[in-house]
Amino acid sequence: MKALRLVFSTMRYFTPVFLFATLNIIFGTWAIYIPEITAKLQISEGKLGFAVFFMALGTLATIPFVPRIIKFLELGKAIMVAVSGFCIVFIGPFLAPTYVLLCVSLFAVGIFSGLMDVTINTLVTEIEKRDKVHFMSVSHGFFSLGGMLGAGIGTLLIPYIKLPWYHMAGVIVLMIIINFSMRKNYMHLKAVKEGGETHFKLKNLRPLVGLSIIGFLVMAAEGAIVDWSALYLEKVTFAAITLVGMGYTIFNGMMALGRFFGDSISSKYGSRLIMIAGCFTATLGFSLVLSAETSPALVGFGFVGLGLSLVVPELFRYSGNLKGINAAEGISFIAGTGFVGLLLGPVFLGFLAETFNLKGSFIALLLFTFLAGIVAITLKRHKKA
């Protein structure tokens, strides 16, 4: 709660967390219209999964160049370019008249998504170092809150929207106006150069294998829900059109709740126990989703969100406290493997849905979180986590 009070105390701290919210408000709005976009283009689940893969490619192609972009533009300007570009290009998937152009537009979304993700995390890190404060977890909580708002408000507006791109265009304009008005709170900032370099050694890989497996599995499940929850509710549970976006909304709401209170829970129970409980809570959630009934499925998405919200932050906390491994090395390794899972999860689910069916693909997600829980049990206990 201390971090929450901090971000509401001054615009210097609220501006960065709103950038996180902006990212997922846009994604949340996209998520609820995926069924309509696939129907308009008459594409299958497998083709949608392949299209989403282009978003992943755009992000992966961009991330290695972001440090150079930040150095060239300076951090504040790079953030403004990132948020403006991200908002503007996301109208593309809504206007794409063909499947090929959908893939191209999602690749462009991936480019700016990667740029924005890295720059806003860098912004929070720089402010934390300068001001000796901590609000990174709350920032990610606002990311989840943004997804809940984007999908939740959007779902309520669906019956009154003639064309999906009208809705997205309105959201885009609003986000650009708000972020443009707050740009003065970060435009002057530059990333501080760190002295020295760290070299990851292969002998240090072994302690991180279990953590990287957990990160890959749980973030693959998280990424899959973004792009497939609405389709699942529509095609498997036969939910009403006003409810198809509620799975993603509830998922993000519970994830935000977990992240807002996660630090205090961690200090009491430790990272290992929280990761075990979180993975199995998500497994319980997926079992409810697989009931194929709308109400239990919505409750299930809530349990999945709560469980996964507790796992991911604790992965970084645990890896940063491993003996014999530099904290930066451990955290960067886990972040990399988790990010691959986050991007490939929706693609993998698409191919499973094409080969079997949507319900079968969600069985795979249940197995992902269950396996992650088993791996978490095998982790060693240590004092700091």
CA distance 33 to 155: 9
For 219, phi then psi, to 5°, come to -75, -25
CATH for 204-385 is 1.20.1250.20
Topology agreement, domain 1-189 and domain 204-385: yes
CA distance 236 to 315: 33
CA dihedral 331, 336, 342, 348 (to 10 degrees): -140
Which pLDDT score is estimated for 321?
Answer: 62
CA distance 207 to 210: 7
CATH for 1-189 is 1.20.1250.20
What digits encode the pLDDT tens for the residues 249-302?
A: 899 889 888 888 876 777 778 888 989 999 999 999 999 999 999 999 999 999
Which pLDDT score is estimated for 197?
Answer: 45
Domain locations in the chain?
1-189, 204-385
Residue ranges for the chain with pLDDT beneath 50: 195-200, 327-328, 384
Give which of 284, 217, 277, 229 is closest to 253, Cα–Cα: 229
CA distance 276 to 379: 10
> Under a CB-based contact definition with an 8 Å cutoff, are residues 250 and 309 in contact?
no
Which pLDDT score is estimated for 144?
Answer: 83
Which pLDDT score is estimated for 137?
Answer: 76
> Under a CB-based contact definition with an 8 Å cutoff, are residues 235 and 339 in contact?
no
What digits encode the pLDDT tens for the residues 174-191?
A: 999 999 999 999 998 876
In terms of DSSP H, where are the helices of the chain?
2-7, 11-41, 45-62, 66-73, 75-89, 92-95, 99-131, 136-157, 164-181, 206-235, 246-269, 271-289, 294-319, 327-355, 358-377
* 226 token code pair: 């973004």
Which pLDDT score is estimated for 312?
Answer: 79
